[in-house]
């Protein structure tokens, strides 16, 4: 064996060992805010529940959270977001926004805003939050450190879902009462254009990493539609095949929940009536339906782990994305089945937050 080959093998061994040690120093946790399905306490009670992703998604601890109504019953959690840059995690309810330190689990502040709160989104650098009111006409733009209001955007669309673009220059705003997606310029915090109209009012949605496409659930559609963010027009309608629409317990639409795997190879869309997640091959346009997975309850949202290995429908099932097999079901310290539409992954390394996921299933290919 030549000296050069020995050195190359030694360098390769050192690199593999360094990578293995780096991974050993990482902790991957799933943070699940409850009650994250309306105000139903049967899906994990009340609090911010932490699960160890690398230990078969076992329950770790429950962080007490606010959001108590006067009658003593917790109120609906509406959204969750976090930032590795600042080491903070945020939970919105229909009445307030709460900010916690991820290292200490300590509540840093709690703020209330005119019109209440819905599903918010945070900028990539963790400095700004776009906070929708609770189905009113406006969004508040907030300083993420203090919670102070920086600006107000008023599309008058019954503010609901919000996705901050991966490049930080745009934020996408969808209301329950509009088939148009509002696009905000995050430099001046102003609405600059709309995308659509889609065939009906927009429900959950997501975007790809390069912010060229938007994938939207809409009322009266088992499936989704696709919009071109450059031309600002709807370009495809994709309906689930082999399954019928039917009655649903929540949200009032057949598909409430859509996400793109981080590698952007697949679209996963919820089917509440049939208790299924439908998977589409997103490497072709329009995407092609390739599989359907059964859930233990009606899914109303879908999120993914940071590395794209796991899919998290709100039913509390955990699916391996590659094998499409169920590998876990979330349960709390009392053995209750946990389900929530508001969850994300947080990665720690040597006690420091180094990465956070998002609740929206946003694509990860930014170029």
Tokens standing for 257? 């929940």
The pTM assigned to this predicted structure is: 0.93
The values of phi and psi at residue 5, to 5°, are -65, -40
Q: Is the pLDDT of residue 243 over 50?
A: yes
Strands 181-185 and 170-175: antiparallel
Give exposure, 263-296, as e/b (b: 16+ Cβ within 10 Å).
bbbbbbbbbbbbbbbbbbebeeebbebeebbebe
Q: What are the pLDDT digits (tens) for 96-152?
A: 999 999 999 999 999 999 999 999 999 999 999 999 999 999 999 999 999 999 999
d(CA 205, CA 362): 9
CA distance 259 to 266: 8
Residue with tokens 């919820």: 270
pLDDT for the residue numbered 5: 45
Q: Is residue 367 part of a domain?
A: no
- Could you tell me if residue 363 is inside a domain? no
Interatomic CA distance for residues 329 and 349, integer angstroms = 26
Instruction: Identify whether 300 is part of a domain.
Output: yes
Q: Which helix (H) or strand (E) holds 15?
A: helix 3-24
Going from the C-alpha of 161 to that of each of 60, 197, 236, 257, 295, the distances in angstroms are 30, 17, 21, 11, 24
3 CB-near residues (< 8 Å, 6+ apart): none
How do 107-111 and 97-101 pair as beta strands? antiparallel
Q: Which pLDDT value is given to residue 10?
A: 42
In a domain, 99, yes or no: yes
Residue pLDDT, tens place only, 289-319: 999 999 999 999 999 999 999 999 999 999 9
CATH of residue 136's domain is 2.130.10.10
* pLDDT, mean of residues 186-207: 98
The pLDDT value given to residue 3: 52
CB burial of residue 4 (10 Å; 0-12, 13-18, 19+): exposed
Q: How many domains does the chain have?
A: 1
Return the pLDDT at 200: 98
53-58 contacts, C-beta under 8 A, 24 or more apart: 53/28, 53/29, 53/305, 53/310, 53/345, 54/27, 54/28, 56/327, 56/328, 57/30, 57/318, 57/327, 57/328, 57/330
Instruction: Give the separation between CA 255 and CA 264, rounded to whole angstroms.
Output: 20
Please indicate, yes or no, if residue 72 is contained in any of the structural domains. yes
Q: Residue 362 falls within a domain, yes or no?
A: no
| Helix, strand, coil content of the chain in percent (nearest 5) | 10, 45, 45
Taking a C-beta distance cutoff of 8 angstroms, is the pair 91, 75 a contact?
Answer: no
Q: Is residue 339 very low, low, confident or very high in pLDDT (cuts 50, 70, 90)?
A: very high
pLDDT tens per residue, range 111-125: 999 999 999 999 999
Which H or E run includes 223?
strand 223-228
Contacts of 310 (CB under 8 A, 6+ apart): 53, 304, 318, 319, 320, 321, 327
Q: CB–CB of 268/261 below 8 Å?
A: yes
- For 316, half-sphere exposure in the C-beta direction (CA atoms, 13 angstrom radius) is 24
pLDDT at 13 > cutoff 60 = no
Q: Report residue 225 as tokens.
A: 């539609």
What is the DSSP code (8-state) at residue 43?
G
Of the given ranges (15-29, 246-260, 263-277), which has the lowest mean pLDDT?
15-29
Residue positions counted in the chain: 367
Instruction: Supply the range of the domain harboring residue 309.
Output: 3-356
């Amino acid at each position: 064996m030549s000296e050069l080959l020995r050195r190359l093998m030694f360098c390769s061994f050192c690199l593999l060992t360094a990578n293995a040690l780096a991974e050993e120093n990482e902790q991957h946790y799933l943070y699940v805010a409850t009650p994250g399905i309306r105000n139903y306490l049967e899906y994990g009670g009340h609090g911010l529940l932490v699960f160890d992703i690398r230990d078969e998604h076992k329950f770790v601890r429950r962080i007490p959270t606010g959001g108590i109504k006067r009658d003593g019953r917790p109120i609906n959690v509406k959204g969750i977001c976090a930032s590795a840059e600042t080491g903070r995690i945020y939970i919105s309810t229909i009445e307030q926004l709460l900010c916690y330190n991820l290292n200490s689990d300590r509540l840093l502040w709690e703020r209330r805003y005119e019109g209440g709160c819905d599903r918010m989104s945070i900028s990539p650098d963790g400095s700004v939050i776009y906070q929708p009111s609770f189905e009113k006409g406006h969004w508040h733009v907030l300083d993420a450190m203090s919670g102070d209001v920086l600006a107000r955007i008023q599309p008058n669309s019954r503010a609901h879902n919000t996705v901050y673009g991966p490049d930080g220059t745009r934020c996408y705003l969808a209301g329950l009462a509009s088939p148009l997606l509002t696009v905000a310029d995050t430099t001046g915090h102003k609405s600059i254009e709309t995308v659509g109209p889609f065939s009906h009012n927009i429900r959950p949605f997501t975007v790809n990493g390069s912010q060229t496409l938007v994938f939207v659930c809409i009322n009266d559609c088992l499936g989704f539609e696709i919009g071109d963010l450059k031309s600002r027009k709807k370009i495809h309608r994709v309906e689930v095949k082999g399954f019928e629409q039917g009655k649903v317990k929540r949200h009032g639409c057949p598909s409430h929940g859509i996400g793109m795997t981080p590698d952007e190879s697949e679209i996963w869309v919820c089917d509440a009536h049939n208790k299924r997640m439908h998977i589409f091959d997103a490497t072709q346009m329009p995407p092609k339906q390739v599989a359907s997975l059964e859930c233990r309850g009606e899914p109303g949202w879908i999120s993914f782990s940071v590395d794209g290995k796991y899919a998290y429908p709100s039913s509390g099932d955990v699916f391996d994305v590659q094998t499409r097999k169920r590998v876990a079901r979330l349960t709390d310290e009392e053995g209750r089945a946990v389900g929530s539409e508001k969850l994300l992954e947080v990665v720690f390394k040597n006690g420091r937050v180094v990465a956070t996921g998002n609740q929206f299933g946003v694509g990860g290919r930014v170029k």
